[in-house]
Amino acid sequence: MRKRIVKKLHHLIGNYACKTTGKNTCPDDMDWLHQTTVEKYDLERIPIEADLATNIKRLKEISGVCPDFIIRQFEIGGGIAEAAVIFLEGMVERVLLNENLLKPLMIYYRPLKSAQGSFLEQILRVALPVDVVRKCVNLHDVMDHVLEGSVVLLVDGESRGLALEAAGFKTRVPEEPMTEAVVRGSREGFTEAIHTNITLLRRRLKTPNLILENMVLGRISHSQVVVGYVRGLAAPELVAEVRERLQRIDIDGILESNYLEEMLRDHPLSFFPQAITTERPDRVAANLLEGRVAILTENTPHVLILPGEFVAHMQSPEDFYHHFVLGVSIRLLRWSAFAVSLLLPSVYVAVTTFHQEMIPTRLLLSIVAAREGVPFPAVVEALVMEIAFEILREAGVRLPRAVGQAVSIVGALVIGEAAVMAGVVSPLMVIVVALTGISSFLSPSFDLAISIRILRFPMMFLAGLLGLFGVAAGVLAILIHFAGMRSFGLPYLAGLTPFHPDDWKDVFIRAPIWMMRRRPTELSKSNRKRQVPGLKPEPPDRHPQGGTT
């Protein structure tokens, strides 16, 4: 194995020399550097040598001619020892690098004769005012820390290095989530910086039982993934299952959390969401308190929450930020809007095509008068309008924000009015499509709303073929599909079935907080106690004279 690594390095040396000198001294395979990937196990078997020049030469061979890969050589204490710092330009804080690393070592450091340990350990103890320092023993450690934004210090005569935390790349500050509007509650949203996201979560759950397990996934991207859960609340079987599925993932890169979601699904061919995706730290904290597991991914503000059953996608944190009567009203309205967004176009097509006797006479006469002159059957009319609405909605999303809303609104008004005036569609169909589209916006889960948008089209086909029998068959097929699905062992219809009276306090309605004494049954079977009994507020007892006890 070592011979193979040395051979690969010789090829890299020859190619690097050819590129830098311009001479035709390259080996036969001149494209070696571009055709060969230096794997993790290659670098792990190359230790840091005591000779600084050898280490620098090898690092240059591995990094190629990257302009942002900086190796700064200097002398410690004015000539005591040769040293070098390795970092990526733009990834480190320059003030921290100069003031806390280079300046103390170059100007102020003098070795202590009575100091114990190696020269590098003495530097670490008395000369480096940096809080996070990790040791490097091979070239993989060096490259790994450099690519994460640290500064690696190598000293001549030492067979180890020091990785100093000095990350200083710019990140987006926490702001209101883009995909989840906030009426009442925290307006902080996750960002692309995973350390910022961890901080936002720690601020809401100030407990040592919040466990955050770090993983690195992606052979090339080396993306940081953090699994979070509350010890004692999350079932150990659930945590072990999430950990095992993540460790099985072996691909080139993880660029967004959906890369993980598609590989963690119980039912990969189902387009219904099986994990809750959110940008809101308060939503993650609330779900962790129920016993779920969160997965934070580097370079994306979207956090995955597992398991993600159907009922959880119909809930919003703001249901608990208002009085429970208002919360019940909003939740009932949300469930009604869900039914409207799925069934309204298909029911309209079925009734107007096959079941006219179900419509009151006056309404039927109005519908017939409105549809007079329309050349298409109701199912074609509905499909055309739904497709046009989806095109306008997608165009509004893809266009710049200042233009997108105007285009979608003006386009819907102009196209709808023009279609009605031209006699292509009836006015009632425009109303049905508009109500359906608006109802789909009430879903707190964007992934669930997209799934319903897709399902509307086969439901309209069934309505056009079989009438209400087709609609009933479609709904039954969806329920059968839901009943056979699971999300990390949890039934997809958990909360609805199997029936548990306590769970129904947080399904179609939202009971007062002082009544919700237990966590969901199927999710948290060992530690279900959420709060102590007797928390219902009551007025103080009053004496007849008017005083209080």
pLDDT string in tens for the chain (549-residue length): 444 444 444 444 444 334 433 433 333 333 434 446 666 667 888 899 999 999 999 998 888 778 889 999 999 887 888 999 999 988 888 888 888 888 888 887 777 655 566 788 888 888 888 888 889 999 888 998 998 889 999 999 889 999 998 887 777 788 888 778 788 888 889 998 898 999 999 999 999 999 999 999 998 888 999 999 999 899 999 999 999 999 999 999 999 999 999 999 999 999 899 999 999 999 999 999 999 999 999 999 999 999 999 999 999 888 899 888 998 999 999 999 999 999 999 999 999 889 888 888 888 888 888 887 788 888 998 898 888 888 888 877 777 766 666 666 677 777 777 888 887 888 888 889 889 988 988 888 989 999 999 999 999 999 999 999 999 999 999 999 999 999 998 999 998 888 888 888 889 988 898 888 888 888 887 788 888 888 888 887 655 555 554
Cβ within 8 Å of residue 533, ≥6 positions away: 517
CA-CA-CA-CA torsion sign (227, 230, 231, 232): negative
User: What are the structure tokens assigned to 434, written together?
Assistant: 């508009």
Is residue 437 within 8 A of residue 396, CB to CB? The reply is no
Q: Give pLDDT tens digits for 267-297.
A: 999 989 999 999 999 999 999 999 999 999 9
Tokens 């329309």 -> residue: 374
Distance CA 351, CA 299 (A): 49
Tokens 């390795």 -> residue: 86
What pLDDT is attached to residue 1?
45
User: What are the angstrom distances between the C-alpha of 493 and each of 274, 293, 311?
Assistant: 11, 18, 7
What pLDDT is attached to residue 248?
94
Distance CA 90, CA 484 (A): 50
Q: Give pLDDT tens digits for 142-166.
A: 998 998 889 999 999 889 999 998 8
Question: How many Cα atoms within 13 Å fall on the side-chain side of residue 136?
Answer: 32
What pLDDT is attached to residue 113?
59
Distance CA 60, CA 71 (A): 9
Percent of all residues in the chain with a pLDDT value above 70, rounded to a whole number: 88
Distance CA 419, CA 370 (A): 13
Task: Identify the CA nearest to 486 among candidates 247, 238, 236.
Answer: 238
- The separation between CA 283 and the C-alpha centre of its own chain, rounded to angstroms, equals 13
Question: In whole angstroms, how large is the CA radius of gyration of the chain?
Answer: 31
Distance CA 317, CA 444 (A): 9
Output the CA torsion 456→458→461→463 (10° steps): -60
Please state the domain extents for the chain: 1-36, 50-164, 194-308, 320-491
- The separation between CA 305 and the C-alpha centre of its own chain, rounded to angstroms, equals 9
H helix or E strand, kind and range, residue 467: none
What pLDDT is attached to residue 152?
93
User: What are the structure tokens assigned to 72, written together?
Assistant: 């700064």
What pLDDT is attached to residue 101?
87
